């Protein structure tokens, strides 16, 4: 699926994969995030064989002009989980909305591990 909009100059279509990549870049820039992790085993296999299907650890769902994002991350040991999660949500929401011009409805942060 893709997010679609139009303006005076024409139609704009942004793929879910493009939104996922922006989300991944925004996540890795956030303090306390060590890495993004695969959501499922098939995603791990495709990355092992070199097939890139969007960003690792990001699931983007679109409905009309609304965007729903799930991220799967590993955080740094010793940081406040709630502070990092809130910061991550805000960073993703801001950067994706700025990139797409659409409304990010929900950002779900799934912390799958902790590293030193």
Residues in the chain: 116
What string of pLDDT tens digits covers the 116 residues of the chain? 788 878 788 888 889 999 999 999 999 999 999 999 987 655 555 556 665 555 789 999 988 778 999 999 999 999 999 999 999 999 999 999 999 888 999 999 999 999 98
The domains of the chain, with CATH numbers, are: 2-6+14-115 (3.30.70.1350)
Q: What pLDDT sits at residue 41? A: 58
Look up residue 54 and give its two tokens: 């969007």
What's the pTM?
0.84
How confident is the model over 70-98, as pLDDT tens digits?
Answer: 999 999 999 999 999 999 999 999 999 99
Q: Which of 42, 45, 69, 71 is nearest to 57 (CA)?
A: 71
Number of Cβ within 10 Å of residue 63's Cβ equals: 10
For residues 69 and 107, give the distance between their C-alpha atoms in angstroms, rounded to a whole number.
Answer: 5
For residues 103 and 67, give the distance between their C-alpha atoms in angstroms, rounded to a whole number.
Answer: 6
């Amino acid at each position: 699926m893709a997010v679609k909009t139009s303006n005076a100059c024409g139609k704009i279509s942004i793929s879910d994969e493009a939104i996922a990549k922006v989300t991944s870049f925004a996540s890795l820039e956030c303090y306390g995030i060590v890495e993004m992790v695969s959501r499922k085993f098939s995603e791990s296999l495709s990355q092992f064989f070199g097939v890139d299907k969007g960003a690792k650890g990001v699931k983007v769902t679109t409905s009309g002009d609304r965007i729903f994002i799930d991220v799967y991350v590993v955080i740094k040991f010793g940081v406040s989980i709630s502070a990092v999660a809130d910061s991550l949500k805000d960073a993703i929401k801001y950067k994706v909305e700025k990139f797409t011009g659409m409304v990010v409805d929900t950002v779900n942060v799934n912390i799958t591990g902790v590293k030193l």
